[in-house]
Amino acid sequence: MAPQKRVNDAVHYYMGDLSSRIVAKSGYPTDRYHLGKLVLQGLKDDPDFLLQIDGSTGESETSGSVLERSVRFAMSLRKLGIKRGEVMVLLAPNHLDITIALYAALYLGIVLPIFSADLQPLLAISKPSVIMCQSDAASKAQLATMNLNLNPHIITFDKGDFCNYIDFMEMYKDDTPIEDFKCADFDPEQTVAFVVNTSGTTGLPKAIAHSHKYFAILLPHIWSKYTKFPTPTKLALIGSPLQWSTAITSFIRSAILRYTRLQSSQKLSPELMSDLINKYKPTYSLFSPTLMTSLLNLNKTDFTCFEEIVLCGLPVPQSLIKEVKTLTPNTEVINMFGMSELAGLGFLGDNPAPGSCGKQMGCFQYRLIDVDTQQDINEPNVAGELWIKGPAPFLGCFNDVECTKELLTNDGWLKTGDVFYYDDNWNYYFVERIKLQIKCCYFRMSPLEIEGVIRRHPGVMDVAVTSIPHSEWGDLPVACVVPRPGAKPSAEEIKNLVKDTLQDAKTLRGGVIFMDSMPMTSTTKVHRRLLRQLALELPRA
C-alpha cells in the first residue's frame, strides 16, 4: 500500500524557484505574483510538453505552440492599444483557442470577467474594450453593447460575419521575435486579474474582483499533498466551464506546474464525461456531488484511473464518498469547501476527519462569529458564521462600493455567509448557508439536515429542501425529490422518514414535490432561488 499523503512544502519550493528566476530577470520583487509572467515562464521551461487536449475533437497542443500563439495575440492586442486595466470578455466553450486569449490577457494586465450571468448585466458591469466569442454569439453581443452605448472590439474565435482572431492578428501583426516579448509591468496586488461571479444560488450573483497577487498565492495550495514537481499529476480533467473558479485556476496551474489539461469544447454531459474518463484515463479532477451522482448512476465509468477526486461546490454526503471509494479504493476522495469569493478552496483536506472539509490553511486567517450576537466564538463544537482574511487584500465587488461594504468588514474580513464549527482537533465542518435556514414556528432549521435524512431512502437519487411561506407558521419545509431510475418512492414514505427521525418542527408540512431533475445554476449547483419559486407553482403531495 502506498504511504498516506500528507501536506508538505514541495509545491512551494517549486514555485519559489520558478518565481525567483522571473524576479532575477526583471529586477521587480513583486513579479513573483504576476500571473502572466508565471505562465509565460512555465510555457518556456518545456516547449515540447503536451499542455492541452480537447477531448471532443481529439485536438491537442504543446506548451511551445500555446506560447507562440498567446504571445502573438498579446502583441496584436497591444498594437490595437489595449492597456492594463481594460476589460476583455471571453464567451466561449473550453476549446483550445480560449487558452490563447486567457494567457494573453494575463501577460498584459487585462481584466477578465468570468461570468455565468446574462450577457447584458455582464457587459453593463464590466464595460469591456474587447469581446471574444463564437460567431453565433457575436450579433447578440453587438446588440447588447449598442443598448448600453458601448463600442467594444468584437473578435470571434471561428469564422463568421465578424473579424475572427486569426484575421485580427494579421491585421495588427507585430513581427517582434517571440523571445523578445515582455509582459506588461504592474503592481500585482492592485491589478485585477479576474472578476468572478458568485453562483447566485440564494441571491443575486456578485462580481468578485481578485488580484494577480491573491490568485498567485492561492494557486499552489491545492497541490500541497504532492511531492513531484513539475507535473504533480499526469492528466487533469476539467469538468466545469470557465465560469467556475476551479476551471480558471486549472487553466493557470497547468501551465505553471506543467501538467496536461483535458477539456471539452462540447458541453460536458454525464455521458460525454464518462466517455472521456474511459478513453483518456485522467488522474485528477474536481466534480460537483450532483455530477458525480449522475456518473455513478450511468454505471459505466471506470474511476480507477484517478489518483485523486475532489468533490466540491455543494455539501458532500459521506455516503457519496463511500460509494466512490468502493468503486476505486486506491483513489483519494476529498470533500473540498470553496467559494468564488475565495477564488477556490477555503480549507485543506490533510486527511481530515470524516464529514469535515479539512483544517485551516496557513495563508488565511479565520474567525467564527455568532450569528445573533456578532461576537467571536473561541471554543470547539459551537457553530458560527465563517469570516476569512486573505493573504492579499480582497478587492471586493468590481465597480460596486455598496456590494463591497456588504461583503467585507472595514478591516478586510470576508463574511462568507456560511456556518461552520470546528472539533477538538481543528477539523472544520460545514453546517449550512445562513440564507438557506428555514424558520418554522420560531424554530430555526437547516434544510441540509432534512436532506440528509431523505437521502437514506433507497428510492431517492437527489433531494433539495426549500420552503413556502405560511401566515401562521412562517416557513413550511418542502422536499423536492428526484427518484432513482425505476424507483417510485411515495410522498408518505418521505414524510414519515423525516417525521420518525427529526423533531416535529422539521416535518415536511409543505409537502413533497417529485421532479425529473433538479434545477441547476450554470455551475451545477442547486438553484435554490428557482427551487423556492417552483415550490409555489408545482403540485405538492
- Side-chain-side CA neighbours of residue 150 (13 Å): 23
The x, y and z cell numbers of residue 137, run together, are 454569439
- Average pLDDT of the chain, as a whole number: 90
Is a pLDDT exceeding 70 seen at residue 298? yes
Q: What is the pLDDT of residue 522?
A: 60
Q: What is the pLDDT of residue 524?
A: 64
Stronger pLDDT, 82 or 245, i.e. the higher one: 82
Q: What is the pLDDT of residue 434?
A: 78
Number of H helices, E strands in the chain: 16, 24
Angle between helices 96-108 and 35-45 in degrees, nearest 10: 130
Q: What is the pLDDT of residue 474?
A: 78
What is the arithmetic mean of pLDDT over 229-246? 89
Q: What is the pLDDT of residue 442?
A: 59
% of the chain exceeding 90 in pLDDT? 68
Stronger pLDDT, 477 or 206, i.e. the higher one: 477
What is the arithmetic mean of pLDDT over 481-487? 93
Is a pLDDT exceeding 50 seen at residue 202? no
Matching residue, cell 481594460: 86
Which has the closest alpha carbon to 261: 287, 233, 242? 233
Peptide bond preceding 447 in cis form (omega within 30 of 0): no
Q: How confident is the model at residue 469 (pLDDT cuts 50, 70, 90)?
A: confident
Stronger pLDDT, 343 or 103, i.e. the higher one: 103
Helix (H, G, I), strand (E, B) or coil at 280: helix
Q: What is the pLDDT of residue 116?
A: 57
Is a pLDDT exceeding 70 seen at residue 481? yes
Q: What is the pLDDT of residue 2?
A: 57
Is a pLDDT exceeding 90 seen at residue 26? yes
d(CA 369, CA 420): 10
Which has the closest alpha carbon to 40: 102, 93, 92? 102
Q: How confident is the model at residue 240 (pLDDT cuts 50, 70, 90)?
A: confident
% of the chain exceeding 70 in pLDDT? 96
Q: How many residues does the chain have?
A: 541
Q: Is 220 exposed, middle or buried (0-12, 13-18, 19+ CB in 10 A)?
A: buried
The x, y and z cell numbers of residue 496, run together, are 414519515
Q: How confident is the model at residue 6 (pLDDT cuts 50, 70, 90)?
A: confident
Q: What is the pLDDT of residue 15?
A: 97
What is the arithmetic mean of pLDDT over 389-394? 90
Matching residue, cell 441547476: 520
Q: How confident is the model at residue 201 (pLDDT cuts 50, 70, 90)?
A: very low
d(CA 341, CA 407): 9
Q: What is the pLDDT of residue 312?
A: 85
What is the arithmetic mean of pLDDT over 135-163? 94
Report in angstroms the alpha-carbon separations of 382 from 367, 369, 467. Answer: 12, 10, 26
Q: Where are the beta strands (DSSP E) in 130-234?
A: 130-133, 153-156, 192-197, 207-211
Q: What is the pLDDT of residue 511?
A: 94
- Write the pLDDT tens digit of every residue in 501-529: 988 888 999 999 999 988 877 656 688 77
Is a pLDDT exceeding 90 seen at residue 355? no
Q: How confident is the model at residue 403 (pLDDT cuts 50, 70, 90)?
A: confident
Is a pLDDT exceeding 60 seen at residue 58? yes
Which domains can be identified in the chain, with CATH numbers? 10-254 (3.40.50.12780), 269-339 (3.40.50.980), 353-436 (2.30.38.10), 443-537 (3.30.300.30)
Stronger pLDDT, 327 or 314, i.e. the higher one: 327
What is the arithmetic mean of pLDDT over 184-189? 97
Matching residue, cell 482572431: 165
Which has the closest alpha carbon to 56: 280, 265, 268, 367? 265
Is a pLDDT exceeding 80 seen at residue 350? no
Q: What is the pLDDT of residue 519?
A: 87
